[in-house]
Amino acid sequence: MDDEELLAELEGAAGPSDITELRHVRSRAEIRAAEEIANRERCEDFDRFQPLFQQAESELKSGVRQTRPFGRDASVTTGNFFILGGQLVYVAEMGDVFRTPNGEPDARLRVIYSNGTESNLLLRSLQRALYKDQAGRRLTDPNAGPLFSETWEEDDIESGTIYVLRSLSSHPFVAEHRELIHKIGVTGGKVESRIANAAHDATYLLAEVEVVASYKLAGVNRTKLEGIFHRIFAPAQLDLTIQDRFGHPVRPREWFLVPLHVIDEAVRRILDGSITDVVYDPKTARLVG
């Protein structure tokens, strides 16, 4: 069989050609969105935004901010923080809203990334990227939702107690500053049950504790409340490392060098809503705005 006969024999044997059939090709809109996300340049004034990223990360760690799957709220506006591709993303500017050919609203954004780059992309491009990123998240606003609310969430407790403890530890530093060192916590059960095993728990400095103050609450979001306390008193967090029962070093996190009357003031401010933007100043031993 010569070449021509072989070609004739094979012609059509494999079915229609796939050369002109496009498969697994993304739409033009998806390609444009990917290109915009990838087209980043150095942010020349990143020093303006870096403190915002640092504050957002601190608020995220303390519980003042939380992360939410992007799909639950697809809105995008100036001042929003997101997590995209493992990086924090900040929407610094938003241009005028216009209509796409299919009538949907869109706008040009200036987006700053935590690695010091930026991009000018369309709002809908950012939305698509966040939707496609399985780990894409929105950071909640620090003031998102009231602390005491009629709408119940997973971390809400019907009634609870803010408790303030004082350690009876014989550790030299604790003994010297016993009147100033306090642990602040929130529980939905009995405080007595919470501290029953204190002498065997490194969280309580491996020592008995005494309850020096308690405040009854109703309809409180425990995560938000503890986050507020940690944010306010972060400058006075006790920097103390102790050995646990197994000889391992432990650094308890919820102890603070704060006078009891200042904690009492913080609780009052939480109840009346005036706690916003207040922080504890260790130099003056008071809450300042």
E-strand ranges in 123-189 read 137-139, 156-167, 181-187
Residue 10 lies in a domain: no
125 and 216 in a common domain: no
Domains: count for the chain: 2
Q: What confidence tens digit (pLDDT) does each residue in 42-86 have?
A: 999 999 999 999 988 888 887 677 788 887 677 888 999 999 988
Residues 71 and 132 occupy one common structural domain: yes
Q: Is residue 211 part of a domain?
A: yes
- Residue of higher predicted confidence among 147 and 212: 212
Residue 205 in this model has a pLDDT that exceeds 80: yes
57 & 162 share domain: no
Average pLDDT, the chain: 79
* Cβ contact 233:270 at 8 Å: no
Q: Quick one: pLDDT at residue 142?
A: 66
**Are 132 and 234 in the same domain?**
no
Same domain, 47 and 170: no
List helix spans (H) across the chain: 3-10, 28-38, 46-62, 123-132, 172-176, 191-194, 222-233, 260-272
pTM, rounded to two decimals: 0.48
Question: Is 218 within the bounds of a domain?
Answer: yes
Query: Can you tell me whether residue 243 is helix, strand or coil?
Result: strand
The residues pairing with 213 across neighbouring beta strands, listed in sequence order, are 164
| Residue finishing a domain among 80, 106, 139 | 139
Asked, for residue 63, whether it belongs to a domain, the answer is yes
pLDDT of 7-28, one tens digit each? 455 554 444 444 444 444 445 5
Residue that finishes a domain, picked among 139, 164, 187: 139
Same domain, 92 and 206: no
Q: Is 25 left (phi over 0), alpha (psi -120 to 50) or beta?
A: beta
Q: What is the pLDDT of residue 18?
A: 45
Q: Which amino acid makes up residue 145? A: G
Is pLDDT of 284 > 80? yes
Residue 79: give the domain boundaries. 28-139
Q: 242: closest CA among 181, 191, 159?
A: 181
